[in-house]
Structure 1
Amino acid sequence: MFPNPTDTRTLIPFVDSLTILPKTIVADAGYGSEGNLDYLDQIDVEHLIKYNAFDKEQKRSYKSSDKNRKNWEYVAEENYFVHPDGTKYYFSHISRKKNTSGFVQIIHVYKPTNPEEAPQKSFNYNWHYEELKEQETSKLLSPEGSRIFAQRKIDVEPVFGQIKANLGFTRFHLRGKEKVKVDIELALMANNLRKYNLRKAS
């Protein structure tokens, strides 16, 4: 149990608390930050985790959009991008952004020579995160990756629905980490007993 306000900041503390590392971690888009994917790579734990824009990027409209950087030409020798309309965006500088978990993102900023006429005055590109997302996309769209990720919806998601809909457990009744832990354990126990009784009756 973690008091962090977003899923993103719970993955690393959770993994650090494990005495035995899992072979593979499967999680939804709330956990697909650059820091989390980078951390799992560093400790050699395989992962299937959607990043925030994953579903949007699979849509046909996005794949053909000029917002998709894959539709831009990149000239490595001179380090500039070419917008589909022909506008060139040259590398300007690097910006470092430290998030609340302490992870530092290295952002490359690109700007056009004619900002007043350009479709956008500048854009940021995170080369490391883009590489991580490319690797994650390849795994998620593979037959085996798709099968494993789909199984997560069967194994994990129904439990939350059962607790909320069948037991009416939509919020914690106690305060404090230890008491909240007891609270959710009682709810999970009640859900297991309910399923056991239903199976026994059938």
Structure 2
Amino acid sequence: MRLLSQILEELDYSKLHLAYSPLGRKPAVSPKNLFKVVIYGAMNHIFSSRTIEKSCRRDINFMYLLQGEPVPDHNTIARFKKDRLPKSIDSLFNQFTLLLQKIQEITFETLYVDGTKVDANANRYTFVWRKSVEKYNVKLMEKANLLLRTLYTEKDIPQPLTLAFMKDCLLQLEKEKQETNLTFVYGSGKRKTPLQRNYETLSEYIERKTYYEYCFDKFGDRNSFSKSDTDATFMRMKDDHMHNGQLKPAYNVQIGVEAEYVVQVGVYSSTTDYGTLVPFLNKVETAFKEKFKKIVADSGYESEENYVYLTEEKYSSFIKPQNHEIVKTKKFKKQIGRKENMEYDKEKDEFTCSNGRKLVFKYDSTQKLKSGYERKLSTYECEDCSNCPLYEQCNKSKFGANKTLRFSKNFEALRTVSVQNISSKEGIKLRVNRSIQVEGAFGVLKGNYGVQRFLMRGFNNVEVEMTILCLGYNFNKLHNKRSSNRLKTEYHEVKIA
């Protein structure tokens, strides 16, 4: 507690003070002391605002951090985390990371990156799917076009039909109702006029169209969101104890670790890890104006786009390929249809299959990924697969087509470099430390701290909550390393049995 108080006294809170209005009364509890209380609560696995308030009344350590100021109400603590911290928490976290560099605890040498999915504070049955909304939207537009043909000629209806045009039509129906002094009727035994039926039907269509437009706005580049927390995306979680697949609203949390300290936090809606590496490293570089030299990650981050980015930015990448363990198995080596099990002649640029037939280069094609990255794919085709005794083992085609191979040469070359990196003595040491440091950090946060589900909703609030947790983790780590005389130790040495 004293270590926490001493270090947080050195930080600059100017951005946090800007979140408060200069008018009115001065806050009863200073922002700095309130920040200390919140971080100390995270260090002791206390996250609820009401529990923090109770601790401030009963725990002498919390009383010491308040420095004689009145106990903050739980509403004050909740507003502090929701309204005050979002614009300043990154600055405070980065200041602490730079302070660790100042005392030589981190060196910006090696960054271990990993991610995990944490449940959002949302019901699992509140899903909205993009494909369903698109399907219902198309059907609605067909019905709306059919209705509007009774009011206008087909030439006067813009295509595609817009919400603004539908609202203009409704206003005209309203105007026609006023001009004719028509009174709408309701209830059984009442006969509605065509004008009333058209008016009510068009009103319903506008309401549904407005909701679909709202859904498309919330989707962004996602395929789903939750009604309870519209920033949460439905993701495939790890199986439960009965081995049932879990599809829940969640956030993809990324952290970067060096010397056992979390140096950066990021929250994303991507359901995969490889799509988060580039924005995460950009965030690290923007925060510290300094690059790490080595990036260590698991196979979930392997992609041609990430390899190219790390090469262009002059990072030393240590990413484990997704097929690194599979290619060593006997089962893989028996799959004669794979290019890895075929002979390749670099001069002639052709493959030779197990039956001695040649697969020659045919053409190059370009594939554009969702992120906008374009990858070049090369296609090779066997000259003749007819009457081949190994056809069924080699070719999966059901129509007797010739065997084809389609892959990116650039990706294969970059993957080879990565294999060489992780197989070196340094690579083995970094891979061992990755499993200890970054996965160990998630183990502590999710296991010891019990962070299985966020308490707050929305990207900004969730990022604040995760950053507070990581700050509490870092303070505990600094205190433990100092107590066990392990300061300035960056790596765990590889132990051989």
**TM-aligned CA deviation for residue 197 of structure 1:** 8.0
2:380 is the alignment partner of 1:110 = yes
Residue 12 (structure 1) aligns with: 278
Among 424, 432, 438, the residue aligned to 1:150:
432
**TM-aligned CA deviation for residue 27 of structure 1:** 0.8
Residue 137 (structure 1) aligns with: 419
Code of the aligned partner of 2:410: H
Provide the C-alpha distance between the structure 2 equivalents of 1:73 and 1:107, rounded to a whole number of angstroms: 19
SS in 2 for 1:7: coil
Provide the C-alpha distance between the structure 2 equivalents of 1:33 and 1:70, rounded to a whole number of angstroms: 18
Provide the C-alpha distance between the structure 2 equivalents of 1:199 and 1:23, rounded to a whole number of angstroms: 24
Q: Where do 1:28-177 residues align within 5 Å? A: 28-59=298-329, 61-63=331-333, 65-67=335-337, 69-116=339-386, 117=388, 118=391, 119-120=394-395, 121-177=403-459
The more displaced of 149-158 and 66-75 is 66-75
Q: CA RMSD in A?
A: 2.6
Which structure ranks higher in relative contact order (CA pairs < 8 Å, sequence separation ≥ 6)?
2
TM-score w.r.t. structure 2 length?
A: 0.38
Q: Deviations over 1:84-131 (max 9, x none)?
A: 221321112212111111111111111112245442221113211110
Q: Rate the CA distance shift 1:134–1:199 in 2: closer, same or farther, 3 A.
A: closer
Code of the aligned partner of 1:82: T
Q: Is the 8 A contact 2:304 2:411 kept in 1?
A: yes
TM-score w.r.t. structure 1 length?
A: 0.86
**TM-aligned CA deviation for residue 51 of structure 1:** 2.5
Code of the aligned partner of 2:297: A
The more displaced of 11-20 and 50-59 is 50-59
Q: Rate the CA distance shift 1:177–1:108 in 2: closer, same or farther, 3 A.
A: same
**TM-aligned CA deviation for residue 25 of structure 1:** 0.7
Residue 181 (structure 1) aligns with: 463
SS in 2 for 1:175: coil
Q: Is the 8 A contact 1:167 1:191 kept in 2?
A: no
Provide the C-alpha distance between the structure 1 equivalents of 2:281 and 2:475, rounded to a whole number of angstroms: 28
Identity of aligned residues (%): 29
Point out the structure with max Rg over C-alpha.
2
SS in 1 for 2:406: strand
SS in 1 for 2:274: helix
Q: Is the 8 A contact 2:339 2:405 kept in 1?
A: no
The more displaced of 60-69 and 79-88 is 60-69
Q: Deviations over 1:138-178 (max 9, x none)?
A: 11111111111111111111111122122221122222222
Residue 179 (structure 2) aligns with: none
**TM-aligned CA deviation for residue 50 of structure 1:** 1.4
Code of the aligned partner of 1:171: R
**TM-aligned CA deviation for residue 11 of structure 1:** 0.9
Provide the C-alpha distance between the structure 2 equivalents of 1:164 and 1:153, rounded to a whole number of angstroms: 15
Q: Is the 8 A contact 1:51 1:133 kept in 2?
A: yes
Give 5+ residue unaligned stretches, structure 2: 1-265, 396-402, 485-497
Give 5+ residue unaligned stretches, structure 1: none
Code of the aligned partner of 1:93: Y
**TM-aligned CA deviation for residue 200 of structure 1:** 9.6
Provide the C-alpha distance between the structure 2 equivalents of 1:145 and 1:200, rounded to a whole number of angstroms: 28
Number of residue pairs aligned between Structure 1 and Structure 2:
202
Code of the aligned partner of 2:295: I
Provide the C-alpha distance between the structure 2 equivalents of 1:123 and 1:139, rounded to a whole number of angstroms: 27
